[in-house]
A and B are shown apart, each in its own frame.
Chain A
Amino acid sequence: MTERAISDLGGLPGGPIDTAEHEPTLSERRVDAMMMLLRAKPRSFWATDENRRTIEGLEPKTYAESAYYERWVLAMRGLLIEKGVLSETEIEAKLSEVRARHAEAGQ
């Protein structure tokens, strides 16, 4: 028998469901909005299935420990590089800038 994929949760045991409503944060709204813009016409950089494939291809530990939209943004990063929209180098450079800006603002 093959090993379960990380996303293949159906039938596994689990605890009680937290049914509380959750007001999406600004970051979550933005990730969602960007994903829809990049996936939809006219850009159509990737299809829903490719998004799924990328999320399911995350490291099992990352998948298990990440929040929902965290997985989405990680997948988005991977797909943007894969489709040649952005490069790894420019993303890393921009990330350093964002982190530095945040650290400075937090002082």
Chain B
Amino acid sequence: MSTHEHHDHGHDHSHGHAHDHTTFQPDIREPSEEWEFLEIALRELLIDKGVITAREVQDQIEAWEKKSPEGGARVVAKAWTDDGFRQRLLEDGNAAVAELGFEIEALKLVALENTDDLHHMVVCTLCSCYPRPLLGVPPLWYKSREYRSRAVREPRAILAEFGTELPETTEVRVVDSTADCRYLVIPRRPDGTEGMSEAELAALVSRDSMIGTATAFAPDGEGRSG
């Protein structure tokens, strides 16, 4: 997005309308498309009618921004260092992450462990189901037509597009999420990480490694653990 894109339609920022112009970054684009007008219309109606408040919308947006893959990374690092936790996580994802304070309502959380022999990659072919409480909001590519359609047919080609190469002997297993069941990949713990603290290990766990399009970072800073 061009930093000057919002000037293209000559929007006058000095006008005095009542709608909320709070922006999160100075160059964020102003609404200009029909669906964005629909967003404004629905929001203003819901606020006028007292169904929701502007404050709640703002708080919800801030809550979203706080949710990040760091939650999932904490879970993975704990699984790497605490074998009892790892077992519980694999048996009952919801109960195990609740131990760390992550409440996952109305969804079954399934943790999948990657090993030398087996690599999991998660997709939602039908929409965009994703373990938001642990990973935040899904990246755009996860919701894209291309990822959704190709993941179940040519996962290795997709992995290559993400710069992830796995040995031929590693089985790649693609799992398809549903509205009621979400997956968290536990990436293979990188070599050379013995003795690292949970916090240090968590820093090696990228979002993509928990979706399965990548492996965890190597401790020497390389993009993948090999």
Q: Are B146 and A15 in contact (CB under 8 A)?
A: yes
Shortest CB–CB separation between residue B194 and chain A, in angstroms? 32
* CB proximity to B under 8 Å, residues A52-99: 52, 55-56, 66-70, 73-74, 76-77, 80, 85-86, 90-91, 94-95, 97-99
Q: Is A17 an interface residue (CB 8 A)?
A: yes
Q: Is B45 an interface residue (CB 8 A)?
A: yes
Q: Are A66 and B52 in contact (CB under 8 A)?
A: no
With A and B bound together, what is the CA distance between A16 and B160 in angstroms? 11
* Stretch from B71-79, B85-93, B120-128, B184-192 that touches the partner: B120-128
Shortest CB–CB separation between residue B175 and chain A, in angstroms? 12
Shortest CB–CB separation between residue A83 and chain B, in angstroms? 11
Contact of A73 among B28, B38, B141 (CB under 8 A): B38
* Stretch from B19-27, B109-117, B196-204 that touches the partner: B19-27
Q: Is A8 an interface residue (CB 8 A)?
A: yes
Q: Is B56 an interface residue (CB 8 A)?
A: yes
Interface size counted on chain A using CB atoms at 8 A: 61
With A and B bound together, what is the CA distance between A36 and B35 in angstroms? 18
Q: Are B148 and A105 in contact (CB under 8 A)?
A: no
Shortest CB–CB separation between residue A69 and chain B, in angstroms? 7
The A interface is mostly helix, strand or loop, or mixed, namely helix
Q: Is B179 an interface residue (CB 8 A)?
A: yes
Q: Is B149 an interface residue (CB 8 A)?
A: yes
With A and B bound together, what is the CA distance between A91 and B135 in angstroms? 34
For A2-25 the 0/1 string (1 means CB < 8 A from B) is 000001111111111111111111
Contact of B29 among A26, A43, A91 (CB under 8 A): A26
Interface size counted on chain B using CB atoms at 8 A: 66
Contact of A13 among B33, B43, B149 (CB under 8 A): B149
Q: Is B31 an interface residue (CB 8 A)?
A: yes
For B1-18 the 0/1 string (1 means CB < 8 A from A) is 100000001111001010
Contact of A37 among B52, B106, B139, B152 (CB under 8 A): B52
Pairs across A and B, CB under 8 Å, 8 listed = A9-B126, A10-B126, A14-B145, A20-B141, A26-B23, A49-B180, A70-B33, A85-B51
Contact surface of B with A, Cβ cutoff 8 Å:
1, 9-12, 15, 17, 19, 22-25, 28-33, 35-46, 49, 51-52, 56-58, 60-61, 64, 106, 123, 125-128, 137, 139-141, 143-153, 158, 161-162, 176, 179-180
Contact surface of A with B, Cβ cutoff 8 Å:
7-27, 29-34, 36-38, 43, 48-49, 52, 55-56, 66-70, 73-74, 76-77, 80, 85-86, 90-91, 94-95, 97-99, 101-102, 104-107
